[in-house]
Amino acid sequence: MRSAHGGEIQSAALRLGVSPAQLLDASASLVPWTPRFSAQVLTRRLRDYPDRHHHRLADLIGKVHGLSASAVLPGNGAAELFTWAARDAAAVGMSSLPVPGFADYSRALACWDGAMAMHCLSLDWSSVFPQAFSSPGTAGALWICNPHNPTGQLWSRASLEPLLQRYRLVICDEAFLSLVPDGEKQSLIPLVAEHPNLVVIRSLTKLYGIAGLRLGYAVAQTERLQRWAQWRDPWPVNGIASAVAEQLLASPAKYQRWCRRAQAWVAKEGAWMQQQLAQLSGITPMPSAANFLLIRADQSLVPLREAVEQRHRILLRDCRSFEGLGECWLRIGLQSRRNNRRIIRALRQELDRAPLV
Helix (H, G, I), strand (E, B) or coil at 307: helix
The pLDDT of residue 7 is 63
- The answer to whether the CB of 62 falls within 8 A of the CB of 68 is yes
Say if residue 106 is in the same domain as residue 246: yes
Domain count, the chain: 2
Say if residue 291 is in the same domain as residue 228: no
- CA triplet 190, 192, 196: central angle to 5 degrees? 160
Query: Which of 221, 250, 279 delimits the end of a domain?
Result: 250
Say if residue 78 is in the same domain as residue 154: yes
Beta strands in the chain (DSSP E): 24-25, 72-75, 95-99, 116-120, 139-145, 167-173, 198-203, 216-219, 284-285, 292-296, 314-315, 317-318, 329-333
pLDDT in tens, 148-199: 999 999 999 999 999 999 999 999 999 999 999 999 999 999 999 999 999 9
Query: Which of 250, 266, 300 delimits the end of a domain?
Result: 250
Say if residue 73 is in the same domain as residue 189: yes
Domain CATH number, residue 63: 3.40.640.10
Say if residue 242 is in the same domain as residue 321: no
The answer to the question of residue 2 being in a domain is: no
Say if residue 270 is in the same domain as residue 340: yes
Alpha carbon distance 205, 43 (integer Å):
21
Show the domain range for 336.
9-30+255-353
Provide the β-strand partners of residue 167.
139
Please tell me whether the overall predicted TM-score, pTM, comes out greater than 0.85 for this model: yes
Quick one: pLDDT band at residue 134, thresholds 50, 70, 90?
confident
pLDDT in tens, 293-327: 999 999 999 999 999 999 999 999 999 989 889 99
Say if residue 303 is in the same domain as residue 168: no
The pLDDT of residue 253 is 96
The answer to the question of residue 4 being in a domain is: no
Say if residue 146 is in the same domain as residue 293: no
The answer to the question of residue 15 being in a domain is: yes
Long-range contacts of 126-130 (CB under 8 A, 24+ apart): 126/287, 127/287, 129/153, 129/154, 129/287, 129/289, 130/154, 130/155, 130/156, 130/157, 130/159, 130/186, 130/289
Q: Is residue 2 packed enough to be buried (19+ CB in 10 Å), middle (13-18) or exposed (0-12)? A: exposed
Domain CATH number, residue 347: 3.90.1150.10
